[in-house]
Every structure is written in C-alpha cells, then in structure tokens.
Amino acid sequence: MPPEIPIATLLVILATGVVSVPAFTNFALRDKLIFSSHAIFADKEYHRLITSAFLHADWQHLIFNMLSLYFFGQTMEPAIGILRFLLIYFASIVGGGLLSLYLHRNHEYFSLGASGGVCGIIFSSVFLFPGIAIGFFLLPVQVPGWLYAILFLVYEFYSGRRQRTNVGHDAHLGGAMVGLLTTTGLFPEIVRWNPRLYAAVMGLTLTMLIYFWQNPLNLPLRVFLEGWGRRSAQIRKPNPTPAEVDAILEKVSRQGIQSLTKKERRILENASKR
C-alpha cells in the first residue's frame, strides 16, 4: 500500500514558498506581513502573528524550515489527520508570536519565519512517535527524532547568537511549548507513555522561558549575567532612611563635604538619584 500523501503539509510548504521567495527582494511585501510589536500593539494588526510565519530571511532559512516540516509532517499528518495537524501547527505559530509579543512589549521588534510552527510539529512528533527517525536524501543513515529536535534547537540558538536579521528565535521556544501542550490536550496519553521525558522537557522549557523573560534582547551571556548581578545587588541593598540622609546632610553643613566617608557619600548619591 503506497504511503498517504501529506496534503496539508505540502500545501503549507507551497504557500510559504510562494510568499517567502518574492519577499526576499520585495521589501514592501515583507513590511506588510512581518511580525512587528509596534504594529500589533498600536495598529491592532493581529494578522502579523500568522503572516510572519510565511516569510523567511533567505533561501537557507526557508529550505531548512520547510525540509524539517516535511520530514515530520509526512509521518504526523496521516496519523492524526489534517485538522489536528493544522491545529498544532498554527497554534504553535500563534503561541510563539504571543511569547515574542510579551517579551518585546516595551520596544520595537521585528521577526519572521515558520520556526515556531515547525518546532511545535517536531516536539509533538517526538512524543507521539517515540521511535521516529529522520532519513536524509542521499545518506544511508537515519537520525532519531529526539536527536533531530535537539540539533534543530542548537542550530536555531547558534543562528540567534549570530544576530541573524529578523529571525524570530525566541518564538521557537513558545512554538515548541504550545505545540506540545496542544498535542497533550488532543492526546493526553503521551504524558503516560514517557512521563520522565515529558517532565524534563517541560522543566527545561520553563527554565528557558525565565531566561528569555530576563534577557529579551538576547544579550551575550556574560553581559546578561553581569547586568543581572548588578540588578540583584541593588535589590538586596536596603534603602537609607530619611533620618540617615538628614544626619549626613547635617554633617556636611557642620564639617563640609570632605568630612564624609565613602559609605556616606554613596548613601547621599543614591538618595539624590531617587
């Protein structure tokens, strides 16, 4: 019996290519469809949460995402049906977009790419089909699905560290999480099949969510940790009381500014900033 054709998967790939390729050079088209935190908040252009998934930065970005979608979609779609497949895919796209919208709510931010939806499909497939393996065209080897999922995220993280223009890397985490949660709602038995892996993935996801929440601009880890340490120190340091400030000011009036200790100068400087 010939394998069932993944119609929805192929249609999504075709539609994504039809939009992405012209937008490589048609910047007016890209500007109308790209994810923009300002346009969504200020202009209520909510369609950008979905249309941005049909844009890609370049051929490499497009081909990598669409091949990944096809690898997993050809197994997943026939097994769960077109409607469930599309629900997981677009729920992952919207979920990833909403995470980006929250993380970048205080500044202008642009992003594009279907990686949020692709991540949702990949992580759903890993739990729905624990033994799934991905084969590459001319290579006589297959990669376990869970390993491909890890390699996919590593590649995306590496691309994010290179600051690739407008690629929505922080949406990938939201897409993976929402895709897995949607799959859990449709097929709750996946938790029972592998509870340890499920708990590990959710725990790692929450940890990464906290990181992105604290570091929405994707600062280098060293810079982020230094800044976070300074903020923590400021939070731990108690504020001087009005009586302490008054005592220092009285000392200045009696003995002059040169009489202050380093600690007293620091207290007075902090009080003046507040």
Q: State the pLDDT at residue 220.
A: 53
Q: State the pLDDT at residue 183.
A: 95
Per the CB < 8 A criterion, the answer to whether 20 and 42 are in contact is no
Instruction: Identify whether residues 198 and 269 lie together within a single domain.
Output: no
Residue 114: CATH number of its domain: 1.20.1540.10
Number of domains in the chain: 2
Instruction: Identify whether residues 191 and 90 lie together within a single domain.
Output: yes
Instruction: Identify whether residues 31 and 134 lie together within a single domain.
Output: yes
Q: Which domain holds residue 159?
A: 7-219
Q: Is residue 228 part of a domain?
A: no
Q: Is residue 258 part of a domain?
A: yes
Q: Which tokens in the block code for residue 63? A: 């081909």
Q: Is residue 226 part of a domain?
A: no
The full DSSP string for 164-221 is -TTB-THHHHHHHHHHHHHHHHH-THHHHHSHHHHHHHHHHHHHHHHHHHH-TT---H
pTM: 0.73
Q: Is residue 69 part of a domain?
A: yes
Instruction: Identify whether residues 50 and 154 lie together within a single domain.
Output: yes
Per-residue pLDDT tens digits of the chain, which is 274 residues long: 556 889 999 999 999 999 999 999 999 999 999 999 899 998 999 999 999 999 998 998 899 899 989 988 998 999 999 999 999 999 999 998 998 888 888 878 888 989 899 989 988 998 898 888 876 655 567 778 777 777 766 666 565 555 555 555 667 778 888 999 999 999 999 988 888 878 877 787 777 777 767 765 555 555 445 555 555 545 445 566 777 777 777 777 677 666 778 777 777 677 665 5
CA distances from 173 to 54, 106, 116, 269 (A): 18, 20, 7, 42
Specify the DSSP element, H or E, that contains 268.
helix 262-273
Instruction: Identify whether residues 208 and 248 lie together within a single domain.
Output: no
Instruction: Identify whether residues 37 and 102 lie together within a single domain.
Output: yes
